[in-house]
Structure 1
Amino acid sequence: MKYTYRFKNHDIETALNVLCGKDYVQKAIREQYDNSNEPVNFKFPNHSAECVKWGHISVCKSEIERVRAYDPDEWNPFPEVNPPECGEYLVTFKDEDADYVQQNYFDMLGRWETAHSDVIAFRALPAPYQPEAKK
């Protein structure tokens, strides 16, 4: 299972992503989240005219949440995980009689096109069938 991390205060997350880069922020949290030290430490370059100086910010772990990350190759429980973008997905619905799977559209307002059933999970659509080239 893959995880990503988010800050409870979105402004802190935005500032760190600008200063350090989103990939670095996620990597630093992954490396430090489960250790025994309380804060998660972030370093960032400060380019001045004469040299490169390094800044340092520490954030309490209580300000960071571990959340399940979207995995296009697995079923993602909804609404615990949201689709990363608008588009068509393979969706498992919970209906009165049974669970079933069908293709459905997730819009930019965060809603599924078919609202008559409850979405319980989703995944990326598989690639279309491609016949093997004849030899």
Structure 2
Amino acid sequence: MWKIKDPELKRKINQFVSDEEIDRICRCDMRDSFDCIFFSFEDDCVSIRIDKSFFKEIPDYDPNNWNPLSEFEPGFSGCYLVTREAGSTPVVDTAFFDKATNEWKPQNSTVTAFRELPEPYQPETNK
């Protein structure tokens, strides 16, 4: 999914265009030779031009597999199963991701990959 990198610019543009619409327009316009993405509103009476360098493509992650943090961004705030560095040894742990600040908590976590927590165990009912 294509997203605006700068949170403040994203907040301002989202007043006019949804994230889904930004993604749809970027998927078309990133292939052309222009340096900017063009957004039009109010029956083309208002238009905004944003340099392509302000956008990044975030691949959709697989909630059931490990997703390297260098390639994927968590989709929502919440607890995740994470791989983090503990010295030179990777360990599996849980951490909270705050989507509003794009930070992992605890903040001293060196998260390298994440995945959604599995559903809790549910014993089968006796038949």
TM-score category (smaller protein): 0.5 to 0.7
* Equivalent residue in structure 2 for 1:98, among 80, 89, 101: 89
Change (3 A) 1:60 1:83: closer
Query: Is the Cα–Cα contact under 8 Å of residues 16 and 22 in structure 1 kept in the other structure?
Result: no
Higher Rg:
1
Query: Aligned partner of 2:87: which letter?
Result: E
* Equivalent residue in structure 1 for 2:61, among 46, 57, 71: 71
Establish whether residue 113 from structure 1 lines up as the match of residue 103 from structure 2.
no
Report the identity percentage: 28
**Aligned equivalents of 1:40 and 1:105: distance in 2?**
34
The alpha-carbon deviation at position 90 of structure 1 amounts to: 0.3
Q: Which residues of structure 2 form unaligned runs of 5+?
A: none
**Aligned equivalents of 2:33 and 2:62: distance in 1?**
32
Query: Is the Cα–Cα contact under 8 Å of residues 61 and 72 in structure 2 kept in the other structure?
Result: no
Query: Is the Cα–Cα contact under 8 Å of residues 70 and 81 in structure 1 kept in the other structure?
Result: yes
**Aligned equivalents of 1:111 and 1:70: distance in 2?**
19
What TM-score do the two structures reach when normalised by structure 1? 0.64
CA RMSD of superposed structures (Å): 3.3
Task: Kindly report structure 1 stretches of 4+ aligned residues shifted beyond 6 Å.
Answer: none
The alpha-carbon deviation at position 79 of structure 1 amounts to: 6.6
Query: Aligned partner of 1:124: which letter?
Result: E
Look up the SS of the partner of 1:19 in the other structure.
coil
Query: Aligned partner of 1:66: which letter?
Result: K
Q: Which residues of structure 1 form unaligned runs of 5+?
A: 46-52
Change (3 A) 1:134 1:4: farther
**Aligned equivalents of 1:114 and 1:23: distance in 2?**
30
The alpha-carbon deviation at position 58 of structure 1 amounts to: 2.4
**Aligned equivalents of 1:104 and 1:19: distance in 2?**
33
What TM-score do the two structures reach when normalised by structure 2? 0.67
Establish whether residue 44 from structure 1 lines up as the match of residue 37 from structure 2.
no
Look up the SS of the partner of 1:102 in the other structure.
strand
**Count of matched residue positions in the alignment of Structure 1 and Structure 2:** 123
